[in-house]
Chain A
Amino acid sequence: MVELSPDEIVFWKWGFVSINETIVFTWAVMALLVFLAWFTTRRLSVEPPISHWQNLFETLIGYMDSQIQGIAQMSPDRYLPFSGTLFLFISVANLLDIVPGYRTPTSSLSTTTALAICVFFAVPIYGVAQAGIAGYLRHYAEPSILMLPFHIIGEFSRTIALAVRLFGNMMSESMLIAILLTIAPLFLPVLLELLGLLIGQVQAYIFAVLATVYIVSASSNDRKIVKDSEGGT
């Protein structure tokens, strides 16, 4: 029997607090990321030769920097920790799907909802930090005060869309593989697993980019970026 959500596998429960598979694997991903980060940065070298891990992380961070730079049209330093962590977490969580017995936390609606809520709150926080409370609130009434309800609805709907999009993709992949295992258990699941890995990376990219777009659009007066970027997903 395939469990549809890792939330349902509870290892330890005490009242309201329950340590389920989602949390445990999240910790595992976190531990792996933090260990690799610590392991890599504990002896960074400025001059060649550079270690493989440092090279990998520098490439990743450089790529993320350039992406954020492209979206925000400003220095990416402010947004990199949040957007970069979103990408790294989702990417590694999905990548580890190839490990037997592991189930990605992103196939839990709770995790994707948690990430979407983080984005939901990050938008006003970055916006206020960038433009002040008045400046941030002003753009809800632009171009007309009549647009205020739509802006508010938009804020909630895109947060929900963000959460459900990632969850749907990751959950569907898990479910598809589970179903295919019962029908054609020999060859097809491997191909779908490969496809799943690809989808996982694509979703990580999409989630991180959209989060960045939302945050940047709230911090900037240039709303055009948001409209241009929302269409493709």
Chain B
Amino acid sequence: MQIDYFTIVAQIINFLILVFLLRHFLYRPVIMAMDEREQKMVSRLKDAEQKIKEAGQETETLRRMKQELQDERQEMLVKSTEEVRVLKTDLTEKARAEVEASIADWYASIERQKESILTELRLRTGEEIYAISRRALQDLANEKLEAQIIDTFIQRLHEMEETEQEEIKEFYKTSGQTITVRSTFEIPDETRGIILETMRNLAGKEVKIKFETSPELISGVEMSTPDTRIGWNIASYLDTLKADLSMAFQERASGKLLTSEEKKNE
């Protein structure tokens, strides 16, 4: 159990040298490395926290943008739906109006065609009536009728109105004037004499009368001056009938057309 003093001194020196060497080679570098690592870790943690914060902000921004986009999309969707609805309504209205206009045109066209056909039919009917009447009356004209016609004519001469009588007188004032008496048949001489007598009495002087036969009168007698016409014939009745029918048809057609125009406007 002895103590070697030199060994003690040597060990103290050895130990101090070891402290110095380890301090230089071990503690200082290792502690520096550990401190540096710790600094880096702290720095990285701060960076990470900063990045998490930034990411959070970024996420919030993106979320807000997404929400805005969704809102905008919804708004656009609603707007476009409304526009489509309005457009559809407009187009439907236009289409309906066009269809109605076409229908109205079509109806008007149909109506016009109908009226045209009816008018033509009426005109033809009138003409046919006229032709049939004419033919029938021509067929019916015989001597008995002629005698009756002449009687009627003579009676008509006697019952002339004042103005007619004045006109005839006036007509015969000029010398050499001839009144034409047209008939569909040959007037017998006796009857001619009656007519001459009657006219002479009326004019108060000798008169000239020219007797003609005219089949266009169908059946009847007609005495005419340039200003007046006295007589009775079926042709004039038929002309009047034809004129009346034609006028009635024209009035009816124009009335119908007006009615259809009014309908269209409504």
Contact A37 B25 (CB under 8 A): yes
Q: Is the CB of A17 within 8 A of B6?
A: yes
Q: Given the complex of chains A and B, what is the CA–CA distance between A75 and B16 in angstroms?
A: 22
Q: How far is the CA of A30 from the CA of B19 in the complex (A)?
A: 10
**B-chain residues with CB within 8 Å of residue A187 when the two chains form the complex:** none
State in angstroms the CA–CA spacing of A62 and B10 once bound together. 30
CA–CA, A30 to B30, complex, Å? 18
Q: How far is the CB of B21 from chain A (nearest CB, A)?
A: 5
Q: Residue B2 at the A interface, CB < 8 A?
A: yes
Q: Do B26 and A77 have beta carbons less than 8 Å apart? A: no
Q: Does A131 contact B (CB under 8 A)?
A: no
Is the Cβ of A84 less than 8 Å from the Cβ of B27? yes
Chain A, interface SS category: helix
Please report the C-alpha to C-alpha distance between residue A54 and residue B37 in the assembled complex, in whole angstroms: 13
8 tightest A-B contacts by CB?
A: A114-B11, A37-B26, A110-B7, A41-B29, A37-B25, A81-B23, A44-B33, A85-B19
A74 at interface, CB cutoff 8 A = no
B17 contacts across to A, CB distance below 8 A: 30
**B14, A81: Cβ atoms under 8 Å?**
no
Contact status of A7 and B4, CB under 8 A, knowing A23-B14, A46-B33: yes
Provide the bound-state CA to CA distance between A33 and B24, in Å.
12
Task: Give the complex CA separation of A167 and B23 in angstroms.
Answer: 26
List A residues at the B interface (Cβ < 8 Å).
4-5, 7-8, 16-18, 20, 22-23, 26-27, 30, 33-34, 37-38, 40-41, 44-47, 54, 57-58, 61-62, 77, 80-82, 84-85, 88-89, 105, 108-111, 113-115, 117-118
> Bound state CA distance, A194 and B30, in angstroms?
31
Contact assessment for A81 and B27 in the assembled complex, using a CB-CB cutoff below 8 Å: yes
Q: Contact check: which of B1, B15, B29, B37 meets A85 at CB < 8 Å?
A: B15
Q: Does B18 contact A (CB under 8 A)?
A: yes
- The interface residues of chain A lying within 8 Å CB-to-CB of B33 are 44-46, 54, 58
Point out the residues of chain B lying under 8 angstroms from A45, CB to CB.
33
Residues A57 and B10 in contact, CB atoms below 8 Å apart: no
A5 touches B21 (CB 8 A): no
Which residues of chain B have C-beta atoms less than 8 A from A89's C-beta? 15, 18
B71 contacts A by Cβ under 8 Å: no
Min CB distance B12 to A, Å, is: 5
- Nearest CB of chain A from residue B22's CB, rounded to whole Å: 5
A115: chain B residues within 8 A (beta carbon): 11, 15
**How many angstroms from the CA of A109 to the CA of B36 in the assembled complex?**
41
Contact B34 A58 (CB under 8 A): yes
Nearest Cβ on chain B to A58's Cβ, whole angstroms: 6
By the criterion CB–CB under 8 Å, are A23 and B7 in contact?
Answer: yes
Q: Which residues of B contact A110 (CB under 8 A)?
A: 3-5, 7-8, 11
11 A–B pairs (Cβ distance < 8 Å), ordered by A: A23-B7, A27-B14, A30-B14, A34-B18, A40-B26, A44-B30, A89-B15, A108-B7, A113-B8, A114-B14, A117-B8
Q: Is B46 among interface residues, defined by CB-CB distance under 8 A?
A: no
In the complex, A41→B8 CA distance in Å?
31
* Cα(A34)–Cα(B34), bound, Å: 19
CB closest chain-A residue, reference B12: A114
Is B51 an interface residue when CB atoms closer than 8 A count as contact? no
Task: Report the separation of the CA atoms of residues A117 and B8 in the bound assembly, to the nearest whole angstrom.
Answer: 9
